[in-house]
Amino acid sequence: MCGIVGYIGDREAYPILLSGLERLEYRGYDSAGICTAHQNQLLLHKKKGRVENIKSGYLPGKMGIAHTRWSTHGKPSDENAHPFVDASNTFSIVHNGIIENYLELKEELRKEGIAFLSETDSEVIVHLIAKYYTGNVRQAVLQTISRLQGAYAFCVIKKNSGEIIGARNGSPLVVGIGNGEYFFASDVSAIVEHTQQVVYLNDFEVCSLTPERLELCNFQGKLLPAEIKEVHWNREQAQKQGYKHFMLKEIFEQPQVIKESLKVKIEIPINAERIIIIACGTASYAGLAGKYLIEKIAKIPVINEIASEFRYREPLLSSKDLVIAISQSGETADTLAAVRLAKQHGAHTLGIINVTDSTIAREVGSVIYTRAGPEIGVASTKAFTSQLIILYLLAHQLAGKVFDAGDIISKVQETLGLNDCLREIAARYCLAQNMLYIGRNSNFPLALEGALKLKEISYIHAEAYPAGELKHGPIALVSEEVPTIALCPQDDVYEKTISNIQEIKARKGKIIAVGTAGDAKLQHLSDEFIPLPPVDSLLYPLLLTIPLQLLAYHIADMKGCDIDKPRNLAKSVTVE
């Protein structure tokens, strides 16, 4: 969840580290800090809050580490901000992850006279390294690792060593290779402006960097070859390019994302008797949409599982099952653990992933990349749409058919033309405190995703239900003060959804309907009507997502919310 950056070379480290933190701030923004090594000293600057809070400072030095925090242990504060230093101010570390046995380690170190200055689990790492140091930093790191339980990535510097060491076990860490300089980062977005050559660390690996060399070893100290990869996107792709927010830019990029994703070649590793989709959050809602598509088109039974629940059950899997993991980042901790569990049970695994060479992409038996490009906004938009496109392609491939998307790209472009209309609707509902979303069949996952978007960025409480479930409890929430967003295109369940809308209207509930353009019946029933261009009923999910994203965006914008960095959230959930 947190963001780590490291630099060693012949340039001043502080501006490089600061720039990297700004690009990683989507991973957490409770606090930020930088530590550099200069003239046999460690220099430290850290503050509670956003990265901008440390912009006014400057620390000299050509080696340093930096961190932006998403709090797990200890409240957001200056004291709990990274980096941490040991008692002698010799070592400094930054850490992403959770040390599960930190209380035991903390008590042990306290008995040895160590005073802790924070409430975090991370601080134990720097004190253990100082404890085990006898002249070789890497050896001290390896001894420290042997004491740690949990998932982590961390970097450490020593004030006079001219070396940065990074270690990975369960949390992402990548090395950037420059000309006489090296970088560490949690994500390539932090370093892509400096280099496009990278080494992705695997679990149980330690990397030592000096200005002259990169040296990789495993947790037993055995040297390993470094596999250099090329990053195929650039800094400009991760810029706002004139849009007010990344989220709005990424919403409007979706026609191009669909065009690119439709080019993806689908290869399926087995003739599966059953498919299990595992994912979290938005990706899980894409998976639920995929369940409807695959069962309808390919006639193969599909189970859609929340990865954080799947990993703690005793799933009944076999070699005849195909487990599909969906993740934008390819680093989602629960999804990764679920993949590993599926492999242990002999199932075949396939990833639908956006980030090339990410951990899940390397872990699964086969991988399909979604071609959404870098997604910076914390609330996923274009990645969701690209996942849907891959699932359409996959469903048709499983059925031995070719997916005909028709003119869907122009229809999506036309739907984006509703932006001004949606802004006006948002103005009338931005003060609502609660909202309901309803949809039937393949529209239901879109209702879930729409409600999630509203919750994530506007902080309005929103719930989504299958429209047919209203009478089983949720209709008690209907009132004039609780608007309902009804997904009702002219598809196979249109008349049934119309009946549900009439039930809401009979109880004085306000209806914001998303339906097919020219639908006079729906428009008459609705307080607000959002018209979608007509398409084949199978394709409506690709259009429905657009107005739901834009409506959430404009409501959040009118409320003055921090849309790209909503409170308490992080883009990539790399801890349990």
Whether residues 427 and 383 share a domain: the answer is no
What does each C-alpha distance from 188 to 200, 233, 299, 318 come to in angstroms? 9, 10, 40, 36
For every residue of 393-406, DSSP letters joined together read HHHHHHTT-----T
Dihedral over Cα of 130, 133, 137, 140: its sign: negative
CA–CA gap between residue 121 and residue 494 (Å, rounded): 53
pLDDT at position 236 is: 60
Query: Hunting for tokens 């409600």 — which residue is that?
Result: 451
Would you say 507 and 471 are in contact if contact means Cβ atoms under 8 Å apart? no
Segment 12-39, tens digit of pLDDT: 999 999 999 998 887 777 899 999 999 9
Q: Is 371 in the same domain as 501?
A: no
DSSP letter (8 states) at residue 479: B
Q: What is the mean pLDDT of the chain?
A: 94
Q: Are 222 and 353 part of one and the same domain?
A: no
Proportion of the chain above pLDDT 90, given as a percent: 85
User: Where is the domain boundary, 194, 211, 236?
Assistant: 236
For residue 572, tell me if it sits in a domain.
no
> According to the model, what pLDDT value does residue 575 have?
65
**Do 398 and 432 sit in the same domain of this protein?**
no
Confidence (pLDDT) at 1: 67
Which residues have a catalytic role annotated? 2, 571
Domain CATH for 420: 3.40.50.10490
CATH number at residue 13: 3.60.20.10
- 420: tokens are 């001004």
Q: Is 265 exposed, middle or buried (0-12, 13-18, 19+ CB in 10 A)?
A: exposed
Q: Nearest Cα to 572, choosing from 364, 280, 373?
A: 280
Q: Does one domain contain both 143 and 202?
A: yes
3-class secondary structure, 170: strand
* Domain stop point among 209, 236, 263: 236
> 292 and 303: one domain?
yes
Mean pLDDT of 77-81: 92
Full domain range(s) for residue 9: 3-236
Q: For residue range 332-364, what is the model confidence (pLDDT) as tens digits?
A: 989 999 999 999 999 999 999 999 889 999 999
Q: Per-residue pLDDT averaged across 66-80, rounded?
A: 88
355 & 370 share domain: yes
Q: Are residues 297 and 365 in the same domain?
A: yes
Within a domain: 570: no
For the chain, the domain total comes to: 3
Report the pLDDT value the prediction gives residue 235, as an integer from 0 to 100: 60
Of the ranges 73-82, 124-133, 535-544, which one carries the lowest mean pLDDT score?
73-82
Percent of residues in the chain assigned helix, strand, coil, to nearest 5: 35, 25, 40
Instruction: Give the amino acid at 16.
Output: I
Task: Give the pLDDT of residue 296.
Answer: 97
Residue 568 belongs to a domain = no
Q: Clarify whether residues 338 and 483 are in a common domain.
A: no
Do residue 137 and residue 158 come from a single domain? yes
Does 269 lie in the same domain as 373? yes
How far apart CA 193 and CA 204 sit, in angstroms, is: 28
pLDDT in tens, 443-498: 999 999 999 999 999 999 999 999 999 999 999 999 999 999 999 999 999 999 99
Question: Is 284 domain-assigned?
Answer: yes
Phi-psi region of 536 (alpha: psi -120 to 50; beta: other; left: phi over 0): beta
**pLDDT score of 285:** 98
Residue 187 covered by a domain: yes
The domain boundary residue, chosen from 192, 212, 236: 236
Q: Does 573 fall in a domain?
A: no
Residue 264 lies in a domain: yes
Asked whether the predicted pLDDT for residue 576 surpasses 80, the reply is no
Q: What is the mean pLDDT of residues 401-428?
A: 96
Residues 73 and 188 in one domain: yes
Query: Is 137 within 8 Å of 221 (Cβ atoms)?
Result: no
User: Is 10 among the domain residues?
Assistant: yes
534 preceded by a cis bond (ω within 30 of 0) = no
